[in-house]
């Protein structure tokens, strides 16, 4: 035998060495204010809605910019030769070079008229002997006004797209407020669900502790010959059942932690979600009837601040404006055009410019342009479509108001009734505690049974769970009322 074997046997085996304890997961204590702050800072849905709001604002600014002055500059050069076709052509071969420059300023106005300021300069060089000048410049200044008299007339028509953009921006702002409301309500739900699960976990731990104490008591009485084996079996069964209940409540608590984590963490890596979350804010103890605004006042405030109602009202306003546009388009189009034109003809461009602005040779033109669709099927169809959109928006408002009424009534009812539920459960916990103490004392004296003791314990645990549920339901309903009244819109 190798001399190393006794030495190896003298040392403990590496496989038998105890494994190092896994490091305990860190604990993060969170208040409701912290949860709301982190949720609004890290919410991707809220950031997406805010980005959409920015895009709507830029679209609104772009549409209003259509009423700004528009500058257009056009330049051209033409070099051509023509063969003379008569003795009056001016030359057998005509050489002509034209240089043109046109500068125009145009501005449509919100009231309807469109203004134009156009200056055109055409410089010509030719060998035509009949030309007044071999090198000449013609300058033309035109001031124009175009006004719609029938279809397309008025500010409500010309600013319809801008009005729609304004409402779209306001609509997206209300959408941001709606997302923020939903986020706050979800944080309320997740936070107080975690607080409720923590309370239920404490109650489950207490139930396991009671079951262990009773099992030890039943075992001691059985060992002393004064107890029944049936009591020991009942205690063991109840202990196993409460362990199972505790595991289920632990799972519920872990799920509540994960539901709250999605609002507090910026990473999607599950390895980072290892902290144990603890809701620090306790569930409220309802010592008196909660006060809240009356039904009429609450409804008026909630209706005034409800983002979905605001959105539907904006839809209705936009649909009405577009209906006005559609009705206007059903008419024939009659446009009035006024033109004031002056012209200068000189050898140099500067002299032609000066002569043009001196208005020595003015010309005034007034014209009417009439456009009439022969069938009018398209504008009539658009009018019917827009009228249906108006009806749809009005029905949307009615539907949201009905939902608000139902939701607000349920929240106020929950606030009123959960207070009485808490008071009842508080009284039940007090009575169940006394009953449990009496039954346990009587069992020690041999004047009660294990069944009665376990029943008293179960009544105590159920009353405690009902109290926690009433507290959680009340505080969640209170948060929902605050959201409906617009206290968390900003």
The residues facing 72 across adjacent strands are 104
pLDDT of residue 350: 82
Question: Which range has highest mean pLDDT (152-156, 195-199, 352-356)?
Answer: 195-199
Residue pLDDT, tens place only, 46-95: 999 999 999 999 999 999 999 999 999 999 998 877 776 666 666 677 67
pLDDT of residue 379: 86
pTM for the full model? Answer: 0.80
Secondary structure E strands in 172-218: none
For residue 359, is pLDDT > 90? no
C-alpha 161: how far from chain center = 24
- Beta pairing class for 93-108 and 333-346: unpaired
CB 185 within 8 A of CB 411: no
Instruction: Report helix, strand and coil shares of the chain as percent, to nearest 5.
Output: 60, 20, 20
Tell me the domain boundaries of the chain.
Answer: 27-59+162-321+384-484, 70-108+113-150+334-371
Distance, in Å, from the CA atom of 123 to the CA atom of 344, rounded to the nearest integer, reads: 12
pLDDT of residue 457: 87
- Beta pairing class for 333-346 and 135-148: antiparallel
More confident residue, 127 or 257: 257
CB 421 within 8 A of CB 470: yes
* Mean pLDDT value of segment 353-373: 87
More confident residue, 1 or 371: 371
CB 241 within 8 A of CB 283: no
CB 450 within 8 A of CB 226: no
Secondary structure E strands in 196-332: 276-279
* Mean pLDDT value of segment 464-473: 90
More confident residue, 126 or 109: 109
pLDDT of residue 91: 67
C-alpha 137: how far from chain center = 62
- Residue 30: other Cβ atoms inside 10 A: 20
* Mean pLDDT value of segment 252-272: 84
For residue 22, is pLDDT > 90? no
* Across 84-93, 111-120, 295-304, least confident range: 84-93
For residue 299, is pLDDT > 70? yes
Residue pLDDT, tens place only, 204-239: 999 999 889 888 988 888 888 887 888 889 889 989
Mean pLDDT score of the chain, rounded to an integer? Answer: 86
Residue pLDDT, tens place only, 382-441: 999 999 999 999 999 999 999 999 999 999 988 888 888 888 998 999 999 999 889 888
First-to-last C-alpha distance (Å) of the chain: 83
For residue 6, is pLDDT > 50? no
CATH assignment of 27-59+162-321+384-484, given 1.20.1530.20, 1.20.1600.10, 2.30.110.10, 1.20.140.10?
1.20.1600.10
Structure tokens at 212: 């262990």
CB 43 within 8 A of CB 186: no
For residue 7, is pLDDT > 50? no
């Amino acid at each position: 035998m190798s001399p190393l074997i006794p030495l190896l046997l003298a040392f403990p085996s590496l496989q038998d060495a105890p494994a190092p304890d896994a490091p305990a997961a860190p604990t993060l204590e969170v208040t409701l204010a912290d949860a709301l702050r982190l949720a609004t800072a890290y919410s991707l849905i809220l950031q997406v809605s805010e980005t959409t709001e920015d895009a709507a604002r830029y679209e609104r600014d772009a549409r209003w910019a259509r009423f700004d002055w528009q500058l257009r500059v056009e330049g051209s050069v033409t070099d051509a030769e023509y063969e003379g076709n008569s003795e009056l052509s001016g030359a057998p071969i005509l050489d002509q070079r034209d240089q043109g420059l046109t500068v125009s300023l145009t501005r449509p106005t919100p009231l309807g008229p469109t203004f134009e300021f156009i200056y055109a300069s055409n410089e010509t060089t030719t060998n035509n002997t009949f030309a007044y000048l071999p090198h000449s410049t013609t300058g033309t200044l035109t001031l124009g006004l175009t006004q719609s008299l029938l279809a397309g007339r008025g500010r409500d028509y010309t600013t319809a797209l801008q009005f729609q953009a304004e409402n779209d921006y306001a609509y997206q702002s209300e959408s941001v407020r709606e997302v923020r409301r939903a986020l706050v309500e979800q944080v309320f739900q997740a936070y107080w669900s975690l607080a409720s699960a923590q309370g239920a976990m404490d109650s489950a731990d207490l139930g396991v502790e009671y079951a262990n104490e009773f099992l030890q008591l039943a075992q001691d009485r059985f060992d002393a010959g004064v107890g029944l084996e049936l009591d020991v079996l009942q205690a063991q069964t109840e202990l196993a059942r409460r362990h199972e209940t505790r595991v289920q409540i632990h799972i519920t608590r872990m799920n509540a932690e994960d539901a709250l984590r999605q609002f507090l963490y910026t990473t999607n890596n599950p390895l980072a979600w290892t902290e144990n979350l603890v809701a620090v804010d306790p569930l409220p103890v309802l010592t008196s009837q909660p006060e809240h605004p009356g039904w009429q006042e609450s409804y008026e405030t909630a209706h005034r601040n409800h983002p979905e109602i605001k959105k539907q009202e904006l839809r209705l306003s936009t649909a009405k404006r577009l209906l006005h546009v559609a009705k206007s388009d059903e008419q024939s189009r009659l446009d009035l055009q006024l033109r004031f034109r002056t012209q200068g003809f000189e050898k140099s461009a500067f002299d032609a410019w000066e002569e043009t602005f001196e208005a020595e040779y003015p010309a005034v033109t007034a014209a009417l342009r009439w456009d009439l669709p022969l069938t009018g099927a398209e504008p009539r169809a658009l009018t019917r479509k827009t009228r249906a959109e108006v009806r749809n928006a009005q029905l949307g408002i009615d539907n949201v108001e009905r939902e608000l009424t139902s939701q607000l009534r349920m929240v106020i009812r929950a606030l009123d009734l959960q207070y009485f539920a808490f008071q009842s459960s508080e009284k039940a916990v007090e009575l169940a505690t006394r009953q449990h103490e009496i039954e346990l004392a009587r069992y020690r004296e041999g004047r009660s049974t294990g069944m009665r003791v376990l029943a008293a314990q179960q009544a105590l645990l159920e009353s405690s769970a009902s109290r926690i549920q009433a507290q959680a339901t009340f505080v969640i309903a209170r948060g929902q009322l605050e959201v409906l009244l617009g206290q968390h819109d900003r």
